[in-house]
Structure 1
C-alpha cells in the first residue's frame, strides 16, 4: 500500500510542475486546430476530386 501511495504522491508532484494554459490560450489554440483541420480537409478533398476526375478520364 505504501508503494501505491508513493506513486500517487509522485503523480501529484508532477501535475504541480505542469504549465497549464490560460483559458484564452486554450481557446486560441482550439480555434487554430479547428481552422487548420478544415483547411486540410478541403485540400485533401480537392486533391481527391482531381485524382478521381483524372482517373475517370483515363479509364473511359
Structure 2
C-alpha cells in the first residue's frame, strides 16, 4: 500500500510542476488547430478531386 501512496504523491508533485495554459491560450490554440485541420482537409479533398478527374480522363 505504501508503494501506491508513494506513486500518487509523485504524480501530485509532477502535476504541480506542469505549466498549464490559460483559458485564452487554450481557446486560441484550439481555434488554430480546428482552422488548420479544415484547411488541410480541403486541400487534400482538392488534390483528390484533381487526381480523380485526371485519371477519369486518362482511362476513358
State how many pairs are aligned: 60
Unaligned runs of 5+ in 2: none
How far apart, CA to CA, are the structure 1 residues paired with 2:6 and 2:57?
Answer: 66
CA RMSD in angstroms, aligned pairs only? 0.3
Q: TM-score, normalised by structure 1?
A: 0.98
Q: Secondary structure at the match of 1:19?
A: coil
Q: Tell me the CA shift for residue 17 of structure 1.
A: 0.4
Unaligned runs of 5+ in 1: none
Q: TM-score, normalised by structure 2?
A: 0.98
Structure 1: 4+ residue segments shifted above 2 A: none
Q: Tell me the CA shift for residue 25 of structure 1.
A: 0.2
